[in-house]
Amino acid sequence: MTERVLRYDHAVVPQERSWDCAPASTQVVLNTRGIYLDEDAIVAEINARLSPAQYVDVNGTDYVGLLEKILDPRLPDAKYTSVYLSSDPANAAQKATLWTNIVRSIDAGYGVVMNWDSPPDNPPRAIKGSTSPVGYGSHEIFHYVACMGYDDNYDGNRGRAVWIADPGFKPFGYWITFDQCATLIPPKGYCFADQPLASTPVPTPLDPVRVLSEVMGDAVTLDRYRALLPAVSQCLAECECTTVARIAMWAAQTGEESGGLRWMEEIASGSEYEGRKDLGNIYAGDGIRFKGRGPIQVTGRLNYTMLSKWAHARGLVPDDFFFVTTPTALSSDQYGFMGVTWYWMTQRPMNAAADAGDIETASIYVNGRNPQTGRANGIEDRIARYNRALAMGDRLLALLEGDDMFTDDDRMLLRQISEVRRPSLSPFRWPGEGPVNTCAGFAWSADGNVHIGLVETLAVKYGDPQHVAMLIAVASCAQYPLKYPDRQSDALLAARILRKVDEDAHTAGEAYLKAWFDAEQAHQGT
């Protein structure tokens, strides 16, 4: 079972003039081999071989064989060959040959240029979660496209599909069945690379880092994507994005919002959100303080508060105002993807939109409508990213595996165990703290002993304000024996460790606590 899609720059696909579909399709085929040739140059080369009456003009390109003359000098090893399907519909032998020629060409790394004849009753109908092109079906359309990939088992029942780079009709790329593709070529033809059928290769394990880089548009270095991969893999699993369609939608939305995971914080200052009561920004400075952060750009005091409560309920942050008191934490690799999971799973039916292939609705969910166009903000970039991801097909599933040595059974067990939450046994748990996900849900008893040493080290040696604040909070339980009868020995231990904390760190811890209480009081007052 094989799916292969050639890599190419999706930005070069749209044709510049309504009659340039053949040059544009040729441009895509050359692009995948690292050759950049503009449409005007292709048109000029074709016309140089023709009489004026045959020139490529508003009537388009006469026949597919002309494109061989462009491809062969630049890709001599490909041996591009034109085949004409005069029988309409194509007979069984012609269809079998067409499929073989597509596979031969794609496996060798060369696209296939096709000359289509699409009558009104047979417009291209997208499959595999891709979006059908807009503009077919109103009349008979004569058009060139580039076939840039294939799948020999798209439905689990040996169904065959091809990936089409369509220069004339948005979204400029989609999957269709091979059977339909075979009905669109007659009585025209196609041009393929005449290469021998490849022997069955030994599967090479995919590098998930390179897959992540490709789907995000190579916006940062491979080392940076390698650092982000564990968080990406975890986020996809927690978002239940375990299919190609869902991963593609996730990549389209996070990729557009973050510039391909380049930015974890909105570039603008956030002042435009000042006074936005719909975002919960009711205090001076809230716009800047709660600007968009994380790969999906969580924005506004209200969302930061809801995210904090959601994360704390799952034992992921120390208190239920964590991102309100420390909003910049959401810009970190550690917490940034937590915002994606929260939004994806609780705020909008993102997976329903992904399953339906509804890129427009999903995009509106994430970033609203453009008031001028009525369409989703950034929709063109989101569509381009979505199509690029879909074209990668099953390779996207490598992102779920991360970059570790765990087996599938290992991961399933860890996911199951991680759902187990219990009260922490640490004497330095926050007063009133509920069940938490301690040590990934296992080695429960070890949590208490490990946490003591961790808190003491971070507070005494490093002066970490959060952990000094934790000690102050636990020590204060001694003042409320009726409220915290089970925490009195813990309070004494915390007080003894606090004596080792220097004055500046103690002051910083008190400031941390005050900020937390102020945020809580402000929230209660809203």
Residue 435 has a pLDDT of 62
For 215, the domain range is 208-416
Check whether residue 333 and residue 236 sit in a common domain: yes
Last residue of a domain, one of 140, 162, 193: 193
Report helix, strand or coil for 435. coil
Buried b (16+ CB within 10 A) or exposed e, 390-401: bbbbbbbbbbbb
Residue 290 has a pLDDT of 95
Check whether residue 329 and residue 456 sit in a common domain: no
Check whether residue 463 and residue 411 sit in a common domain: no
Is residue 439 over pLDDT 50? Answer: no
Buried b (16+ CB within 10 A) or exposed e, 287-313: bbbbbbbbbbbbbbbbbbbbbbbbbbe
User: Quick one: average pLDDT of 315-344?
Assistant: 93
Asked, as a colleague might, if the bond just before 76 is cis with ω within 30 of 0, I would say no
Has residue 199 been placed in a domain? no
Dihedral of CA atoms 405, 409, 415, 418 in degrees, nearest 10, equals: -90
User: Quick one: average pLDDT of 153-164?
Assistant: 88
Which region holds residue 193: left if phi is over 0, alpha if psi is between -120 and 50, else beta? beta
Tell me, what CATH number does 409's domain have?
A: 1.10.530.10
Check whether residue 159 and residue 48 sit in a common domain: yes
Query: Which two three-digit tokens encode residue 330?
Result: 């959401």
Check whether residue 264 and residue 120 sit in a common domain: no
User: Quick one: average pLDDT of 150-164?
Assistant: 89
pLDDT in tens, 205-223: 678 999 999 999 999 999 9
Range name among 201-215, 259-273, 375-389, 399-413 with the lowest pLDDT average = 399-413
The pTM assigned to this predicted structure is 0.54
Q: Per-residue confidence at 155, pLDDT binned at 50, 70, 90? A: confident
Last residue of a domain, one of 416, 451, 484: 416
Query: Which two three-digit tokens encode residue 206?
Result: 């995919």
Check whether residue 374 and residue 268 sit in a common domain: yes
Is residue 9 over pLDDT 70? Answer: yes
Number of domains in the chain: 3
Q: Per-residue confidence at 521, pLDDT binned at 50, 70, 90? A: low
Has residue 240 been placed in a domain? yes
Is residue 348 over pLDDT 70? Answer: yes
Check whether residue 350 and residue 479 sit in a common domain: no
Beta strands in 166-219 (DSSP E): 173-177, 189-193
Query: Which two three-digit tokens encode residue 19?
Result: 């009659």
Question: Rounded CA gap, 344 and 298, in Å?
Answer: 11
Q: Are strands 173-177 and 112-118 parallel, antiparallel or unpaired?
A: unpaired
Q: Report how far apart, in Å, the C-alpha atoms of 380 and of each of 67, 390, 518 are.
A: 30, 15, 42
- Helix (H) or strand (E) segment spanning residue 112: strand 112-118
Query: Which two three-digit tokens encode residue 116?
Result: 């289509």
**DSSP one-letter string for 277-312:** GGGT--STTHHHHT--BTTTTB-SHHHHHHHHHHHH
Has residue 381 been placed in a domain? yes
pLDDT in tens, 22-60: 899 999 999 999 888 888 888 888 777 655 555 555 455
Residue 412's CB is within 10 A of a number of other CB atoms, namely: 11
CA 272: distance to chain centroid? 27
pLDDT in tens, 353-387: 999 889 999 999 999 999 998 999 999 999 999 98
pLDDT in tens, 501-520: 999 889 988 888 887 777 66
Question: Rounded CA gap, 230 and 234, in Å?
Answer: 6
Query: Which two three-digit tokens encode residue 268?
Result: 């603008």
- Give me the percent of the chain exceeding a pLDDT of 70: 85
pLDDT in tens, 274-323: 999 989 999 999 999 999 999 999 999 999 999 999 999 888 998 999 99
pLDDT in tens, 237-251: 999 999 999 999 999
Has residue 92 been placed in a domain? yes
Query: Which two three-digit tokens encode residue 187?
Result: 């009585």
Last residue of a domain, one of 141, 162, 193: 193
Calculate the average pLDDT of the chain. Answer: 85
